[in-house]
């Protein structure tokens, strides 16, 4: 930053015309201004200042204050003056720094600031004494990003039990809580780099769910019909769950202007995460969350305290994050993903904590619906934890088991607390799915306000929520948990409501294909709202080969159809999981329908994603 400080009898200016495409918005009063008997501070904000905005404001404040005190003046005019430098900051960053400097100086002086981004005529009278014309140059050190600060923060790790005891993690007895121990070790050591290919990658390829797209960037995938159906069911289910707790669904852009004042400040916290796109002379970034669009909507809304809590929701197609190449790992960590994002405005901490618990319970239901074992992590700024111990204890009671607690000495992100539901994969690494954060910063940054009971404008708290985590990562979690079962000698299987084929009919020869077709029709005509996904293996293969292939596809119910089944009108299915049905017992078509119904009736419905007959299906993976 370059400063030219003039001890002046007066300075007055008049706005003439725009100097940049998007100058600061001003009213009629600010088109003219004057300061008598004070300092005129001409300011050029430079490129280097963008990396350390807080520090440059503090240094500029100190320099200007020292001169003002030496000259015993109480009035200051801040005047943006690009001509002092040839290496200027971006307009959005320069304006932000000038506004912050004005706020700091206003604590001790009467300050006016001429509008940024306009050509202005000005008249100035300099006092003409030895200290009346001074120049200063401020070169700040690079300000650390939130990610860099996170690495420096020393965390205190504890275990909180359902009965409210907080125990140092090193002193806790992890007997019977092996996956909680793995979560603690994974988090406290901070190891994120992928070590070898995780098992779910070969599983998702062999099952023809999803695969790498070689024509795109790493961490971006193609979805085959079966995988797309699973993804679609998960998307529908999370949509329904979020709407059931009051989420109002919106849709927002996938890219945003890097020059937008509020967004540019937010982006500086995550400097390596975004993809950028150029359009004409402007630069945009691809969103890594739905925060930005929802902030913009909330900023323009008229909100009363009566409307709170207020919930906006979007299922992003898509979000983008340029993860480090060493961290990109199958469906666990991607560069393009589908994320359900919910933002809730709350009037105060009491309302926020009640909503937090409600969303915690909703996230528990999601994990149960996917039949995913998980470990709970709670993370707090230490001072916030001390003030809200009851909240932490309530959450541990709801979880019904010990939970990992991380306590930070200081706040380095925008939130004061968060929870995560973590799945431990087959490589003994943790991955977070569901999460909620209490944001104390961004309502003010984006000027999101509501009117309180007294008619006064207030900034709400914001809960950042993903009830499920990314949809892609949910499939990773499902596959990895099944990989663990396979290591234990158990058969892998998806929840019945997510299985691409729920029932496979295998005719012992071509003469029974029509009978299989009739059984499929009977299942599908039982109800217009329940879609049973049944198919027929009509290939010219042996029955044993067809059974082996169905096993490889994780088909949960396999039925061989021959003379006995036609004559008795009952089947003896092979159940992949005894939670679905009992092997060795007989079932009629109606019995089968009712059996599947009890497992799928509470979930979204989709038809078979591929042709009914296996002979008609192409292979997607060679």
Domain boundary among 422, 446, 479: 479
Model confidence at 141, pLDDT cuts 50, 70, 90, reads confident
Within-domain flag for 282? no
Question: What's the pTM value of the predicted model, to 2 decimals?
Answer: 0.81
Say yes or no: 235 and 340 in one domain: yes
SS3 589: helix
Q: How many helices (H) and strands (E) does the chain have?
A: 17, 27
Quote the pLDDT of residue 93.
Answer: 87
Say yes or no: 170 and 299 in one domain: yes
Domain with 39 in it: what CATH number? 3.50.80.10
Within-domain flag for 486? no
Quote the pLDDT of residue 146.
Answer: 53
* Tokens found for residue 609: 């994603």
Model confidence at 180, pLDDT cuts 50, 70, 90, reads very high
Quote the pLDDT of residue 152.
Answer: 62
| Mean pLDDT in residue range 511-522 | 97
Say yes or no: 412 and 556 in one domain: no
Minimum mean pLDDT range among 143-152, 264-273, 316-325, 598-607: 143-152
Model confidence at 143, pLDDT cuts 50, 70, 90, reads low
Within-domain flag for 315? yes
Model confidence at 481, pLDDT cuts 50, 70, 90, reads very high
Quote the pLDDT of residue 153.
Answer: 66
Within-domain flag for 274? no
Say yes or no: 349 and 433 in one domain: yes
Model confidence at 324, pLDDT cuts 50, 70, 90, reads confident
Within-domain flag for 278? no
Domain with 536 in it: what CATH number? 3.40.50.800
Of residues 280 and 343, more confidently modeled: 343
Quote the pLDDT of residue 419.
Answer: 96
Mean pLDDT for the chain overall: 93
Taking only the tens place, the pLDDT of each residue in 45-73 is: 998 888 888 899 999 999 999 999 999 99
| Mean pLDDT in residue range 555-562 | 98
Is residue 72 classed exposed, middle or buried when 0-12, 13-18 and 19+ CB atoms within 10 A define those classes? exposed
Say yes or no: 385 and 421 in one domain: yes
Taking only the tens place, the pLDDT of each residue in 415-428 is: 999 999 999 999 99
DSSP for residue 26: -
Distance CA 502, CA 305 (A): 48
Longest dimension (CA), the chain: 114
Say yes or no: 429 and 575 in one domain: no
Quote the pLDDT of residue 192.
Answer: 55
Which of 471, 481, 548 lies closest to 203, judged by CA? 481
Is pLDDT of 154 > 80?
no
| Mean pLDDT in residue range 394-407 | 97
Say yes or no: 573 and 442 in one domain: no
Domain boundary among 142, 166, 181: 142
Is pLDDT of 271 > 70?
no
Is pLDDT of 191 > 70?
no
Model confidence at 102, pLDDT cuts 50, 70, 90, reads very high
Model confidence at 304, pLDDT cuts 50, 70, 90, reads very high
- Quick check: 84 and 46 in contact, CB under 8 A? no
Residue 178 region by backbone torsions, left for phi larger than 0, else alpha for psi between -120 and 50, else beta: alpha
Taking only the tens place, the pLDDT of each residue in 596-606 is: 999 999 999 99
Model confidence at 149, pLDDT cuts 50, 70, 90, reads low
Quote the pLDDT of residue 410.
Answer: 87
Say yes or no: 27 and 163 in one domain: no
Say yes or no: 138 and 151 in one domain: no
Say yes or no: 226 and 329 in one domain: yes
Quote the pLDDT of residue 197.
Answer: 87
SS3 490: coil
**Are β-strands 282-286 and 155-160 bridged in parallel, bridged antiparallel, or unpaired?**
unpaired
Quote the pLDDT of residue 524.
Answer: 93
Is pLDDT of 194 > 60?
no
Within-domain flag for 263? no
Domain boundary among 453, 479, 505: 479
Within-domain flag for 543? yes
Within-domain flag for 491? no
The tokens 């780099």 sit on which residue?
193
**Are β-strands 2-18 and 133-137 bridged in parallel, bridged antiparallel, or unpaired?**
antiparallel
| Mean pLDDT in residue range 185-189 | 89
Is pLDDT of 150 > 70?
no
Taking only the tens place, the pLDDT of each residue in 285-295 is: 999 999 999 99
- Quick check: 601 and 496 in contact, CB under 8 A? no
Say yes or no: 504 and 564 in one domain: yes
Quote the pLDDT of residue 293.
Answer: 95
Quote the pLDDT of residue 272.
Answer: 55
Say yes or no: 532 and 411 in one domain: no
| Mean pLDDT in residue range 438-457 | 94
**Looking at the 3D structure of the chain, how many domains does it have?**
3
Distance CA 228, CA 610 (A): 11
SS3 528: coil
Domain that holds residue 13: 2-142
């Amino acid at each position: 930053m370059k400063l030219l400080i003039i001890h002046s009898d007066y300075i007055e200016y008049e706005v003439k015309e725009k100097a940049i495409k998007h100058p600061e918005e001003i009213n009629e009063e600010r088109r003219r201004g004057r300061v008598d008997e004070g300092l005129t501070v001409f300011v050029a904000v430079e490129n280097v200042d963008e990396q350390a905005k807080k520090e440059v404001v503090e240094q500029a404040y100190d320099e200007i204050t020292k001169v003002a005190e030496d000259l015993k003046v109480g009035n200051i005019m801040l005047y943006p003056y690009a001509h002092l430098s040839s290496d200027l900051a971006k307009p959005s960053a320069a304006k932000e720094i000038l506004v912050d400097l004005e706020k700091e100086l206003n604590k001790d002086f009467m300050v006016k600031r001429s509008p940024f981004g306009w050509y202005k005529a000005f008249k100035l009278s300099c006092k003409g004494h030895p200290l009346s014309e001074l120049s200063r140059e401020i070169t700040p050190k690079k300000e650390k990003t939130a990610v860099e600060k996170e690495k420096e923060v020393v965390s205190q790790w504890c275990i909180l039990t359902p009965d409210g005891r907080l125990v140092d993690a090193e002193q806790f007895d992890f007997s019977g809580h092996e996956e909680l121990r793995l979560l603690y070790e994974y988090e406290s050591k901070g190891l994120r780099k992928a070590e070898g290919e995780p098992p779910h990658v070969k599983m998702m390829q062999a099952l023809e769910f999803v695969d790498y797209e070689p024509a795109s960037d790493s961490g971006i995938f193609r979805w085959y019909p079966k995988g797309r159906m699973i993804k679609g069911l998960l998307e529908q289910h999370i949509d329904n769950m979020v709407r059931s707790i009051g989420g109002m669904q919106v849709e927002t852009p996938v890219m945003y202007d890097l020059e937008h004042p509020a967004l540019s400040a937010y982006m500086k916290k995550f400097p390596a995460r975004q993809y950028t796109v150029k359009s004409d002379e402007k630069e945009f970034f691809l969103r890594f969350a739905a925060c930005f669009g929802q902030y913009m909507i909330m900023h323009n809304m008229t909100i009363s305290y009566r409307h709170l809590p207020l919930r906006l929701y979007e299922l992003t197609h898509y979000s983008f994050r340029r993860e480090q190449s060493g961290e990109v790992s199958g469906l666990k960590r991607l560069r393009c993903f589908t994320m359900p994002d919910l933002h809730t405005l709350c009037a105060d901490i009491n309302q926020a904590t009640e909503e937090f618990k409600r969303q915690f319970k909703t996230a528990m239901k999601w994990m149960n619906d996917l039949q995913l074992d998980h470990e709970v992590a709670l993370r707090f700024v230490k001072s916030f934890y001390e003030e809200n111990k009851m909240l932490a204890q309530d959450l541990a009671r709801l979880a019904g088991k010990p939970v990992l607690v991380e306590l930070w000495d200081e706040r380095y992100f925008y939130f004061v607390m968060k929870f995560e539901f973590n799945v431990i994969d087959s490589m003994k690494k943790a991955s977070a799915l569901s999460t909620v954060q209490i944001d104390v910063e961004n309502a003010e940054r984006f000027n999101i306000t509501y009117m309180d009971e007294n008619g006064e404008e207030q900034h709400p708290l914001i809960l950042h929520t993903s009830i499920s985590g990314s949809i892609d990562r949910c499939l990773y979690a499902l596959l990895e948990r099944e990989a663990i079962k396979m290591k234990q000698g158990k058969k892998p299987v998806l929840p019945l409501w997510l299985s691409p084929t729920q029932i496979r009919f295998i005719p012992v020869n071509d003469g029974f294909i029509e009978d299989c077709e009739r059984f499929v029709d009977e299942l599908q005509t039982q109800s217009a709202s329940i879609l049973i996904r049944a198919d027929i293996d009509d290939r010219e293969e042996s029955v044993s080969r067809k059974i082996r292939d169905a096993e490889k596809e994780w088909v949960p119910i396999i039925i061989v159809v021959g003379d006995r089944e036609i004559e008795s009108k009952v089947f003896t299915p092979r159940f992949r999981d005894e939670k679905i049905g009992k092997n060795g017992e007989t079932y009629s078509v109606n019995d089968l329908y009712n059996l599947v119904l009890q497992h799928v009736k509470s979930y979204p419905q989709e038809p078979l994603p591929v042709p009914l007959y296996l002979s008609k299906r192409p292979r997607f993976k060679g």
